[in-house]
Amino acid sequence: MRGDGSGGDAMTNGVLPSQALRGLIAQGAIAADPAVLEDQLQPASLDLRLGTVAYRVRASFLAGKGRRVQDRLDEFTMHKVNLTEGAV
């Protein structure tokens, strides 16, 4: 993908401007449930928010090339914490 989010030449490092982030969201390369809101986009970053579930894991980990975090959660999750009613 190019820095403009068009999906061209591979980009190995750098900062993605908000236009590129918008393009990646439109393509589905960046997704969230509920969907990413416009006010989460900053000039060169995307503000993340917590979901409805937190995962207690045995150790920190990296997903690894070609793998998804969700796939690795199946390996490392000790238990889940429901965040819909708050949790401390």
**Which tens digit of pLDDT belongs to each residue from 23-81?**
999 999 998 888 999 999 999 899 988 888 889 998 888 888 988 888 899 889 999 98
82, with CB counted inside 10 A (0-12, 13-18, 19+), is: exposed
Average pLDDT score over residue span 13-26: 92
Region 19-25: mean pLDDT is 94
Give the per-residue pLDDT at 9.
56
pLDDT of 8: 55
pLDDT at residue number 1: 46
